[in-house]
Chains A and B, each alone.
Chain A
């Protein structure tokens, strides 16, 4: 079930009504949300529901074992066993095909590879997200961040809670389980914030992302040879805006829906293209993933505690694996490697203590230069991220040197491209102010205003909604 569909709207309205009618009975309330989450997931394909339930139960039981273990060694053993099983499931479903293809290609360079007839497994929707939730549960229990004993029912809901199930944000067990431990308080719902997030998310996803995808990015990345420098450059910028609007739009809707149900999700994007250095970028882009990688991968590798060279190595490993998490292809590994190298280069650059340079780096002019440089470095990575093969990525780069008209630069495309990129510079106080202003309107009028906004988005949106990019991860 995709968020921007009538099916989801009907489903969510029903869940909202029933969930709040049950909030005085916390256990039934949670059971209902769990059931709704399974219906949501099964609406796409029931086949993989047992996998979701199986991983949730397994993670919940192992988390209980970790909490009950008396010695650090026993805790560690349970943690390792749990993480290995979860990662094995992810590895089997997501990376079998990649490994098989790579193995055959390498084999083919050495000798004639076997003539095999095997099938790689079909990728279950959202497996990368629910496996990471399961690992977070195990990790937080191991580190003692989950103070209360884990209830199996809560563990199941934490892993499968429908707003975040297929595309995040990636919740931390230590922050979400306490929310499940207390009765929902309807007075804490921020209706206006929730609706603004949902409308903003729909606008970004349905209008900006879809139009850029179908009318700018897809044609150029399908056949780069047919386009000149201006079209290619626009398509690269267009993809930067498209992926931001697609992903942040979807998680904004998820956060808004959770908020209406009385749950707080962490912010997942914070105007990433306003960042001035790579570290800043990763504090603003897919925040729940970057902090997950930091806490469960970079820190366990040693973080920055073991000297400079080891720090750089840890950064590279973290980003390379982060790239591989995004997709089982070498293009994603290169994307991760590029971002790892950006982080390393930035650390080296930051270490230069020459006084004039330090003063220059503190100026507004440098901030803008750094912002523009970083944006283009990020776009360089997006070309590999978007291209299905290296050949296409290099074709895109080579077309940037071929003069040619901007045939795809129509008014609507340029307008949504501008909105997708420049919208990130909108001061947060505007939205906060509007939220406060909305609070003064009568409740029915607020609902009607939301309906008008959604009707406008429906009319302005293209026919059909392009699949959500992050589903594949």
Chain B
């Protein structure tokens, strides 16, 4: 075959042509990429540079062509982005449930204010939670009041029984969240619910998302689009693993853990909770399990406290601690578990973050009993609410205690 030779000059010209054309065609994409970067030096440089390029090239109109192309692709079913699809079909928000305007009850007795590692202690100035915005598509950016974080997480939680379902009408359950729901939990629960005519499970989760960066993935748009016209009776949420990062609000960088960050994140979490429970759904907010890397675990513990503080104010929602199922005796990270029957299992994925299918199964077994309780033994109790499901469902651990490596 003919060998085609090119000197460096030709390579330089090709690269120059490439760079100029990419900047022209992708100025909007580059600006969007810069916006999505984690807070840090790269973003600090990239945002103004790409922003200036975009501003200079906007008059050409290529960005508008790009948007039209994306809309057209969504219309023919090319895109799997629920919000984009909804926008393209023109019914984006018409059928979406709008979160009700609600004021969460005040916390009467918050022993300790927030204390996220590396941040100033929270100054609890008001016990009244800010109102939840009444429209979808927006997170609250208010940096005004803040509910003081509750001091400690409950180790055990009881899930109050659900009302019985009407005959022939399945209970609609939405699974929502990020990869903490997508990996392990959702697949295990979906498999357990497959073929169960009393349950209909909706997928409303997406990996690599969170509540901290709505400019990257806006759950206030995406969740309504994902559930469409459905009105879930129960929403199971597992989210927050990607939220240990700073963000920008009104041009101001709020580093992770700072007072402003906590307030905004708390508001965003509250907005999300109000949205998912707006159809009257009962919400089970599965807390994040202990993580293997200590620094990351500290962040996750702080996010759990914020979630618990917000969730515990809602009468419809329950924050559920997974530690007693997948953690060690002191609530720390645990990779393997040996059940009393001698069966050994891996509780966590090899990344030390997500749950394994078997680990998730310890949680979903409890959830399934709660969602679809076994029929009562006697005819007399038909229609009666199922008993509460709590930590007692967890298989007891063997008595033998083994020293934790980190404790020497």
Contacts and interface: CB of A to CB of B under 8 A. Distances in A.
A214 B6 contact: no
Contacts of A435: 4
Interface string B283-305: 00000000010000000000000
Interface stretch (B77-85, B159-167, B244-252, B377-385): B77-85
A118 B73 CA distance: 49
A97 B350 contact: yes
Contact of A444 (B17, B25, B405): B17
B161 to A, nearest CB: 26
Contact of B11 (A189, A432, A442, A451): A189
Contacts of B17: 443-448, 450-451
B336 A116 contact: yes
Contacts of A51: none
A114 to B, nearest CB: 7
B14 A450 contact: yes
Nearest to A459: B69
A151 interface: no
- For chain A, give the interface size range: 35 or more
B78 to A, nearest CB: 5
B5 interface: yes
B178 interface: no
A411 B195 contact: no
Contacts of B78: 412, 460
Contacts of A443: 10, 13-14, 17
B194 A225 contact: yes
Contacts of B70: 459
Interface stretch (B264-272, B337-345, B367-375): B337-345
Given A389-B357, A459-B66, A118 B335 contact: yes
A181 interface: no
Given A6-B33, A411-B76, A100 B336 contact: yes
A109 B292 CA distance: 28
A123 B334 CA distance: 17
B137 interface: no
A187 to B, nearest CB: 5
A7 B37 CA distance: 10
B22 interface: yes
A404 interface: no
Contact of B191 (A7, A225, A462, A463): A225
A463 B81 contact: yes
Nearest to B206: A464
Contacts of B24: 451
Q: Is the contact region of chain A dominated by helix, strand, or loop, or is it mixed?
A: helix
A187 B350 CA distance: 46
Interface string B178-222: 000000001100110011000000000000100000000000000
A439 B6 CA distance: 9
A191 B10 contact: yes
A31 B3 CA distance: 29
A122 interface: yes
A187 B7 contact: yes
A358 interface: no
A6 B32 CA distance: 11
Contact of A6 (B14, B25, B30, B187): B30
Point out which of A117, A412, A459 has the most chain B C-beta atoms below 10 A from its C-beta.
Answer: A117
A119 interface: yes
A120 interface: yes
A54 to B, nearest CB: 21
Interface in B1-31: 1-8, 10-11, 13-22, 24-26, 29-30
Contacts of B80: 211, 214-215, 462
Contact of A225 (B195, B342, B352, B405): B195
B405 A107 contact: no
Contacts of B13: 442-444, 447
Contact of A455 (B26, B42, B77, B346): B26
Interface string A82-121: 0000000000000001001100110111011111111110
B358 to A, nearest CB: 9
Given A223-B187, A411-B77, A455 B22 contact: yes
A105 B344 contact: yes
A46 B29 CA distance: 29
Contacts of A187: 5-7
Contact of B190 (A13, A222, A388, A389): A222
B14 A191 contact: yes
A13 B25 CA distance: 18
A388 B344 contact: no
Contacts of A186: 6-8, 11
A431 to B, nearest CB: 11
B16 A444 contact: yes
A314 B186 CA distance: 42
A332 B273 CA distance: 41
B396 interface: no
B402 interface: yes
B173 to A, nearest CB: 14
B359 to A, nearest CB: 12
A317 B10 CA distance: 50
A28 interface: no
A402 B347 CA distance: 32
B404 interface: yes
A118 B405 contact: yes
Contact of B19 (A13, A117, A458): A13
Interface string A323-336: 00000000000000
B344 A192 contact: no
25 contacts: A20-B11, A105-B344, A108-B342, A109-B342, A113-B342, A113-B344, A117-B328, A117-B334, A186-B11, A189-B5, A189-B11, A190-B4, A191-B4, A191-B10, A191-B14, A225-B191, A435-B4, A439-B4, A447-B13, A447-B14, A447-B16, A450-B14, A451-B24, A455-B25, A459-B73
Given A187-B5, A223-B190, A225-B194, 4 more contacts: A222-B186, A223-B194, A451-B26, A458-B29
Which 7 pairs of residues, A with B, have the shortest CB-CB distance?
Answer: A447-B17, A451-B21, A225-B194, A104-B344, A443-B13, A444-B17, A447-B18
